[in-house]
Chain A
């Protein structure tokens, strides 16, 4: 093969440059975008990318979190702190409000609210008239995501139609939509979990404490580690152990954070980002496989949820 003479970007610089380009395309093409920000590691990367894309200006979009009400208080506190430091506007809409409105009805009190976020998200999109939501989904997470576009079109019901996606060529993104429809934009589509951790390490990004190894009360339930007696910001305590379950105090950390009822920690002693990068390099289980209790139901659960408007 021919020898390479030209200077090229390192893989992290390339991924960063691509993500900045995508964020600026959203800002240039959409009239009312919003950045979905949960306080999780992927969305924290996107905030740093947005700083690099738009500073010294303000972000050309607000931040928004769809809160199930069942999030770790460490994450919620970190979310608020980060939005404050950046001086950007944070909108919070909660699944509990949708429940009060009667648009979300749980089958039982202990049903996970995770999949109901879609309803609250669609209500918020309508309330503010957003034409694009920027999110931190990655194609390496799951096989339905592997085929999703970087600018992914949703119809007026928020539905993704995997068989009818817009072709996406070169870096000529098409973020057009008619009123009522919207675009989901994924600037870190091409990043893997490892890239995210390497970027966090390189950029020295702060993270909610629960990403690092800590002691926690858990029970073993159907092969997964389930955190129990978790205190919420409101003071309420959720995830009571079931009768007969033995509470174990374990050293764990979260590889992904989300709704408490469907996010499981992993056993780990990684208490620094460098140790987490090492652990990620040697892990034998995929991020979602290890930690998402909601994806294990069937081969197609993520695809199904996305068709219903999930992120």
Chain B
């Protein structure tokens, strides 16, 4: 497990579980043991703990968010937190775990490369464990760490751990986690005492696997280890022709982010949907000239030929162009309090492109607890369903399982401009 390869990299992960599973304590402990909590925050937590009649500092207070939430004693929204170990920077998406917050879990999962799924060692695999695992799978998180927490409350018993681990792996087999190539790790720990989180402690010498932090430090930072096709949705076109500098008169820069794959100067490219072909003349990042650009890098591409291109177009390698389609089929999580209406026209945003869209049919709805497929006429908040859409404009899509960036879309309600749905193309 060498760190040299991903020295100074960044990992985004999410935590799934409810307060009862000790999720807030786990995050608090990770931040505390990596010395990411500063003195004044600790003093404030100490003051609040005392006010609530506690004797030691309650680490879960660290993730205590908004006033509105404190009043209700629940977490209602995804919170983002940061810590660093010197070799790696982490962004945690902390999502509330209750059933009615499926949409928050999906939101947190959309940017995560690793999910920590918490299980209470006293309770084992529960309905919510299944729900969290299904959602992490649906949104395509490549690395799953199952944290069997509260081991201190079962006397750090190995047999308990092994039983829960085997239950979980059986369930994972059923929903196809392994088949889909997901990396699953199971670790016993106590967030309260800190055993196997950052330090090994000495209560579970029978466990020889990595600690939670070692798992986080060694997980690959890239979302996919597979080779992905080059996808470059154009965000903005730079034409500084009005400038005094005559050298810039013909400058035409296509600005965007490499959503997947790599591109080098000289590569043959196609601009979609028009299908014009050209070659990459230069790649720039500010004043810097680059020979190539990799996934997630924001750059400006200059092409050999003058091609009329605008925001919403996509530059791809000519040898691996995606399909341009006017119908899509996807798993959609409904995010809005206003139910989906099959009579209405919505806007679908996919990469930097938008299209009007109508539902052609709802194939089925998934019960996130039993994972059963049910027939459905409509969709309410937190529902997940397989939906077919008709599009007014073609979109250049890949399946979500092949490419997260070009397989994802959001649904917007134009009357409120709200984001009402999140979809993954099948």
Interface residues of A (CB under 8 A from B): 1-18, 20-21, 24-25, 27-28, 51-58, 60, 139-140, 143-144, 146-147, 153, 162-163, 165-172, 174, 176-178, 189-190, 192, 194-195, 283-286, 289-290, 299-300, 303-304
Contact = CB atoms under 8 A, between A and B. Distances in A.
B207 interface: no
Interface in B282-305: 285-287, 294-298
Interface of B: 1, 5-6, 8-10, 38-41, 44, 48, 64-68, 70, 76-82, 84, 88-89, 91, 103, 106-107, 110-111, 143, 183, 185, 215, 218-222, 224-225, 235-236, 238-240, 243, 245, 248, 251, 253, 255-257, 285-287, 294-298, 311, 335, 349-352, 404-405, 408-410, 412, 417-419, 422
Given A54-B238, A290-B40, A300-B67, A168 B107 contact: yes
Contacts of B256: 21, 24
Residue from A57, A176, A178, A192 having most chain B Cβ neighbours under 10 A: A57
A138 B335 CA distance: 25
B66 A1 contact: no
Contact of B286 (A2, A24, A28, A52): A52
Contacts of B143: 1
A68 B235 CA distance: 36
Nearest to B106: A169
Given A10-B9, A11-B89, A57-B238, A162 B422 contact: no
Contacts of B295: 6, 8
A76 B5 CA distance: 44
5 contacts: A4-B221, A8-B295, A15-B10, A144-B65, A284-B39
A139 B80 contact: yes
Contact of B349 (A4, A51, A163, A172): A172
B40 A286 contact: yes
Contact of B294 (A9, A58, A167, A303): A9
Contacts of B5: 3-4
A58 B311 contact: no
Given A143-B65, A147-B65, A20 B298 contact: yes
Nearest to A16: B298
B76 A11 contact: no
Nearest to B76: A163
Contact of A140 (B1, B82, B253): B82
B23 to A, nearest CB: 15
